[in-house]
Amino acid sequence: MGHTPQYQELVDTLRAERLIFSTPETPVHNALWTPEYLDTKIGSREILHRAKEKNPDIKIPEGFVCTDVNSAMQIAEYFLGTNRGVVLKANIGAAGIGVNVFPPSEFNRNIDDNRAKIDAKIRANPLLTTGPVVVEEYIPPNFSHHGVFPSVDSMVRPNGTVDVRAVDAMVIHHDKEVVGFYGCVLGRGLFTEEQNTKLKEMSETIGQELSKLGYRGWYDVDYILSQAGDFYTTECNLRRTSICYMLDLAELLFGEDYESKMAMRSNDKYIRPNIKGLSYGDLKAVLVPVLYPMNEQQRGVIITQSFRSMYERGKFGYVSIGKDQEDTRNIELQLDGILSKV
């Protein structure tokens, strides 16, 4: 959820009818352009570079903005020629849609083969062939860490101050070269105190730059935790993301100091063909052994998105709440084991 031209049209219409109300997450009047521009891959790199001038801890993958897929292919060859992988991003896209990742392990020594592989993939994606493309170096992630893809959610208040609300991480699945977003993790054991502080400070600097431009409202900053232990910023999203309901739930159940008490993991699109045809009631009955509160403890699964049973599959969303990151993952595995036998 974020500010859109359609939303602003509704606000203007209602105010013309003399209705009195406030919109605290709406940019100031001369900055109504900020969400539409900065919530793109090109606009995101713009604000990240502005923030980097103020905070040198902010690292940005080397990258270039290309007018079309043909120039993007030439830049991709530059990264391949320096023995690096490459990431291609459609200017407009979300939840991994429009992003193709090519790590170095995907290539061989034949330049023509490598070029053909990238070309075939990106030309099959309409988002990459119909507008500007951002091409960046591939940052090797530290997949041994729970928070390999950190994300810090914050808000620019109506008075322009920045309030960092949560340090979390995205659950990203890589299906070959295609990236997919599935959910988030937050809470105990995700990052060290030093890492938490660094992520908050970088995200606050980015928020201050947004504030200067007149943006108001929720935003999040996505990162990669590299194998070398560095955080690289990848983009800034100017909208409420799926972490918001998790944050509300965590504070409701555990209070504002939830990070010291629990961990939470979400899956916004759990899909299994064999649960097609189940009703919501059936699903809850099957999952009784893992539903919150498990064994009268503050652990277990809470269904967060309605169960949909169509298109030859069953699909729903949930959060897993546990004592720490390992516990939430173990509860997820129990859920998966139950549903595999339905």
The 3-class SS string of 221-268 reads EEEEEECCCCEEEEEEECCCCCHHHHHHHHHHHHCCCHHHCCEEEEEE
Distant-in-sequence, close-in-space partners of 64: CB < 8 Å, separation ≥ 6: 75, 134, 135, 136
More confident residue, 334 or 131: 334
Q: Return the closest-CA partner of residue 92 out of 46, 136, 127, 61.
A: 127
Q: Return the closest-CA partner of residue 265 out of 246, 279, 252.
A: 246
User: Which of 27-36, 241-250, 268-277 has the weakest average pLDDT?
Assistant: 268-277
Neighbours of 308 (CB within 10 A): 15
Domain boundaries, the chain: 5-58+140-237, 63-137, 262-339
With a cut of 80, say whether residue 172 has pLDDT above it: no
Distant-in-sequence, close-in-space partners of 30: CB < 8 Å, separation ≥ 6: 214
Average pLDDT over residues 162-171: 92
Return the CATH architecture of domain 63-137.
2-Layer Sandwich (3.30)
Give the separation between CA 173 and CA 210, rounded to whole angstroms. Answer: 30
More confident residue, 218 or 307: 218
With a cut of 50, say whether residue 177 has pLDDT above it: no
CB of 38 within 8 A of CB of 215? yes
Q: Which helix (H) or strand (E) holds 318?
A: strand 313-322
Average pLDDT over residues 275-283: 85
Distant-in-sequence, close-in-space partners of 245: CB < 8 Å, separation ≥ 6: 304
DSSP tally for the chain: helices H, then strands E: 10, 12
Give the separation between CA 163 and CA 19, rounded to whole angstroms. Answer: 29
> Which structure tokens are listed for 242?
């799926």
Which one is the CATH code of 5-58+140-237: 3.30.470.20, 2.60.40.10, 3.40.50.1360, 1.20.210.10?
A: 3.30.470.20
pTM assigned to the model:
0.86
Q: What is the pLDDT of residues 43-81, one digit of tens each?
A: 999 999 999 999 999 999 999 999 888 888 888 888 888
DSSP letter string over 83-132?
A: T--EEEEESS--TTTTEEEE-GGG--S-HHHHHHHHHHHHHT-HHHHSS-
Q: What is the DSSP letter of 179?
A: E
Q: Which residues pair with 154 in a beta bridge?
A: 164, 219
Task: State the average pLDDT for the chain.
Answer: 88
Average pLDDT over residues 33-37: 91
Give the separation between CA 51 and CA 57, rounded to whole angstroms. Answer: 10
Q: Which residues pair with 141 in a beta bridge?
A: 226
**Sorting pLDDT into bands at 50, 70 and 90, what band is 178?**
very low
